[in-house]
Structure 1
Amino acid sequence: MLPEALLALLQYDDLEFISRTIAEGYLSGHHPSVRKGVGTDFNQYKVYQQGDEASKIDWKLFARSDKYFVREAERESERAIHFILDCSASMSFVPDGEAALSKLAYGQYLTGVLAYLAQKQGDPFSLTLMSDSGLERIATGSGRSHWYRLLNCLQQKEGQGSFPDSHWQKHLNSLVSKACMVVFISDGYQKNTEIADCLSQLKHQKNDVLFFNLHSQQEQDFDFNGVVQFEDLETGELKKVSVKTAKPIFLQAQQAWFKDIASLCDQRAINLQRLYVDEDFSHAISQFLQQRLRHGR
């Protein structure tokens, strides 16, 4: 279940406010994880010498040591970050429970939060929304105004159809620059192997890929009772099943899928992170920031 503080925040139903509040809340509690600067990471200090920029003096460190230290930039580079959000109909699934989020809504908030962190760091970023109706894209840009454009695109999208086939995936590959950081957000639902193929293609372009695989605890445990009529959100097919009979079959198939996708990601050096839409965003943010630091090296 989502934490009470997050549930209260979600009542505002404002993507900009919620994304910014979550991101700033995380930073205020984990400030050592993120360094200030436009595309710059600071993790070294040197003693201040005449000629050094006074603006780079770390006054907090001075207060503790009574010595002047200057932050020394280890590297300065633009880290292009490409966000890809699966907007197929299966992402519209909402688990039972009060004020529960659909996978798509969770993915929209998560993208908004991570893009806010990217713009705060001065990193260029872009967005692609994927469904069988095609690709919707916000080209690479940076800054607060670009973040607003990304949010506007996100909040207008609803889940529909299935995940794109190979035709659209080839188009995606032409849009994503090589050797960038890719954040791929999806529930992993596929008719055949389209999700796996997409991940493989993204990695083939020498991109640094972080795959946030969205689930709900209800799905994980197949937490249903009696006889239930399920609907395939992507095809509309209805099927009535006995939970008692179907549960072991479903759980076995689910574990097989988890094993296969984990094996693929391990072989391709893709960072696979399973997220639950019943939980807050702290783990996802932490993984994103760690991946960003590794990507810059």
Structure 2
Amino acid sequence: MEARWLEAFIAVAEELHFGRAAQRLHMAQSPLSQTIRRLETSVDAILFDRNTRSVSLTPAGKALLPMAYRVLRDIALATAAAQAATGRIHGTVRIGFSGAFNHMTLPALARAIRRTMPDIDLELISRIHTGEGITKLRNGTLDIAFVGLPLGGARGVASRLISRVGMGAVVPEDHPLADEKSIRVAALADDDFLSMPLDGSSSMADELMRSCIASGFRPRVVQEITDPYMMLTFIAAGMGVSIVAEDLAPILPRGARWIPLSDQKIYMYHGIAWMADEHSAAVAAVLKLSEKVLPTPLESGAA
């Protein structure tokens, strides 16, 4: 078994499409299929059910996938350890983020990494919300994730607070309350709401629900949207309202207004997360640098 066979297997397992996996690996589809067949021969098991319409993992493929992630992660750690002995920090650090939330924090960190650690290759993966970030940390496809805090029962995942921002309402510019200096959450009780996913994977969605319930109503969520900026765009188009973190206010699309809340002090806590016991010298160096570039706020408790 070769590492490149596992890389090919992971690409197909994540894409569930041989053509897309081949593009991702910068190779033709025929050699990719041959690589998967070699791996199947090596493990003496069929890893994918494939026909002209779909590709899916077999039980053997599902069993191999977490082990494949671990093997490649261990190879990366071993390589980084050997390189660290030369006195320079090498390696790849994969950072997951949401473009809408991290428009201020990520650029500062990325610039500092490139300036002080030029031998580290950064891979920046966008549109990663908190739940997906934790999943990708655990399966080894991310090294660091920008997340909403607290993480709850994310066993094995370490985190650090990097910012604390207030929450406010976002409404269309023709909303009856659009010109108010501040509003109560209860004033939105009759509105349609747009929200990030309500499946527990989004800290902002959790805060929206808590603030509305504390004001005596359950919001009528007409659409859940995974992309924060797309949600703001839909609000600007008049499709509903929401409650979001203040750090989204500077990037509101034309046609939307952000309004502070007058009756509740609600905060969104942003942080970075990583696997506590499994990371390379390059990841450790980036985490240490982040403490200087994105320090934990002195007053981090909830108000």
State the TM-score, normalized to the length of structure 2: 0.28
Larger radius of gyration: 2
The higher relative CO (CA closer than 8 Å, separation ≥ 6) is in 2
Using the size of structure 1 for normalisation, the TM-score is 0.29
